[in-house]
Amino acid sequence: MPVQFDPGPAVTELVRRTEHLIQDVVLPIELAHQGSAHDASEDVRRQLQDAAREAKVFAPHVDTEFGGLGLDMRDRAPVFEAAGYSLFGPLALNCAAPDEGNMHLLEKIATSQQKERFLRPLAAGDVRSCFAMTEPVPGAGSDPSALATTAQRTSAGWLLNGRKWFITGAHNAGFAIVMARTSGEPGSRGGATMFLVDAGAPGFQHVRNIDTLDESMFGGHSELALDNIEVGHDAILGELDRGFEYAQVRLGPARTTHCMRWLGTARRAADLAAERAATRQAFGGRLGDLGMVQQLLADNEIDIEASRTLILKTCWDLDTGAPAGHITSITKTFVAEAVNRVVDRALQICGALGVSGDAALSRLYREVRPFRIYDGPSETHRWSIGRRIVRRALTRLEARP
């Protein structure tokens, strides 16, 4: 069986349905809110998700046992890209971050009871969730070993204390997956454990919505205070002290699905610019007939095509269980930067219109920038890629006669 790129008719049809949903339902709603979730209520989310259910494209990544379509990573790629064409598309399909990554993690690690209690309503769109790992300075950020939030053993279970920061989707989330230190000290790696915490638990405080460049994520990015939250042993997700390891289980696919969604955004920006170039007159001709504009358009296409194929290769590795830390770092770094380049070029082609709110580009420009930072800044990924290359070179050299 040779290399092949055709996702097959079923997925192709799913993509087509998603594209129609985005064009007919999601984009109009997004544009009405200027791409910002700030003033978009839960009603908007329900409206979007109802439409996705009706179009039979809801929860494509979720196991059929929990009401989803059960797609593997490779099949998700074109569907998520189609969803990402609108900033609100992933929410409509219930495959937006951080919920999508949390569903993945729960599918992999949660007990049956935990799945019933947390995964089922999440997969159904009844609640949203958040993933509470990042902390304010000097806590866990790019360097997870700085984790400062603690879980102390009590007679009845565990007592959580700490402060979390930039927790996406936390506002009005139903529950959180909280990463807390169960051994070692900040700075040492030690042991971290994940806890499932109901957002209504006493001591779970939503401190504030952080004002950010991007505004399209439902629930925003929040600062949380965890103040003597009591949880039972059944709140532990997976096993004690394996939190850092599970974070990788979550992050590899989560980074890749991020890439899929943002690639859709990049494609939209490229389409807007191409349409502008095809119709706007300038200097006695069509804007799109000018060489420098053709170059911007071509570079967008190159970036998009390279991103798409890299994503598929990464999905293949993830689906087949190949070690994927290296390739997910490569793909995340490339795609995050490519997406930013594409949107930047698209905005440039559209000129003053591009920086105005009259086109969507100024919004897209704001939304994609943080992706070069979220889920590991490019520098952190390059550092880990670089270190692996050096290790491999040493292995190679040692193997030589």
Residues numbered 120-139 forming contacts with its own copies, rule: CB under 8 A: 134, 137-138
C-alpha span between 9 and 31 (Å, rounded) = 31
Candidate residues 41, 111, 142, 205; the one interacting with its own copies per rule CB under 8 A = 142
Q: By CB under 8 A, is residue 163 in contact with its own copies?
A: no
C-alpha span between 323 and 252 (Å, rounded) = 10
C-alpha span between 15 and 78 (Å, rounded) = 6
| DSSP, res 195 | E
Candidate residues 5, 43, 112, 399; the one interacting with its own copies per rule CB under 8 A = 5
Applying the rule CB under 8 A, the residues between 179 and 208 that interact with its own copies are: 187
Q: Binding segment for its own copies among 41-49, 238-246, 258-266, 275-283 (CB under 8 A)? A: 275-283
Q: By CB under 8 A, is residue 63 in contact with its own copies?
A: no
| DSSP, res 369 | G
Residue with Cβ nearer its own copies (156 or 306)? 306
Residue with Cβ nearer its own copies (233 or 391)? 391
Applying the rule CB under 8 A, the residues between 308 and 347 that interact with its own copies are: 309-310, 312-313, 315-317, 319-320, 326-327, 330-331, 333-334, 347
Residues near 222 by beta carbon (within 8 Å), at least 6 away in sequence = 130, 164, 166, 167, 168, 170, 171, 206, 207, 208, 209, 210
Q: By CB under 8 A, is residue 399 in contact with its own copies?
A: no
φ/ψ (deg, to 5) at 242: -105, 20
Cβ contact 177:167 at 8 Å: no
Query: Hey, CA dihedral for 154, 223, 365, 45, is it positive or negative?
Result: positive
Q: By CB under 8 A, is residue 214 in contact with its own copies?
A: yes
Residue with Cβ nearer its own copies (47 or 145)? 145
Candidate residues 92, 277, 342, 368; the one interacting with its own copies per rule CB under 8 A = 277
Q: By CB under 8 A, is residue 369 in contact with its own copies?
A: yes
Q: By CB under 8 A, is residue 387 in contact with its own copies?
A: yes
Q: How far is the CB of 101 from its own copies (least distance, A)?
A: 17
- Cα 218 to its chain centre, rounded Å, is 12
Please give the structure tokens belonging to residue 189.
């790696």
Q: Binding segment for its own copies among 14-22, 147-155, 170-178, 279-287 (CB under 8 A)? A: 279-287
Count of residues in contact with its own copies, rule CB under 8 A:
107
Q: By CB under 8 A, is residue 291 in contact with its own copies?
A: yes
Can you tell me which residue has the tokens 């952190």? 380
C-alpha span between 194 and 177 (Å, rounded) = 6
Residue with Cβ nearer its own copies (82 or 231)? 82
Q: How many CB atoms lie within 10 A of CB 139?
A: 19
Q: Binding segment for its own copies among 60-68, 119-127, 190-198, 376-384 (CB under 8 A)? A: 376-384
Candidate residues 43, 112, 200, 396; the one interacting with its own copies per rule CB under 8 A = 396
Burial of 304 (0-12, 13-18, 19+ CB in 10 A): buried
Please give the structure tokens belonging to residue 101.
């990554």
Q: By CB under 8 A, is residue 240 in contact with its own copies?
A: no
Q: Directed axis angle between helix 291-320 and helix 243-279, to 10°?
A: 150
Please give the structure tokens belonging to residue 284.
């006695």
Q: By CB under 8 A, is residue 215 in contact with its own copies?
A: no
Q: Which amino acid is at 217?
A: M
Q: How far is the CB of 120 from its own copies (least distance, A)?
A: 27
Applying the rule CB under 8 A, the residues between 67 and 86 that interact with its own copies are: 72, 74-75, 77
- Cα 282 to its chain centre, rounded Å, is 39
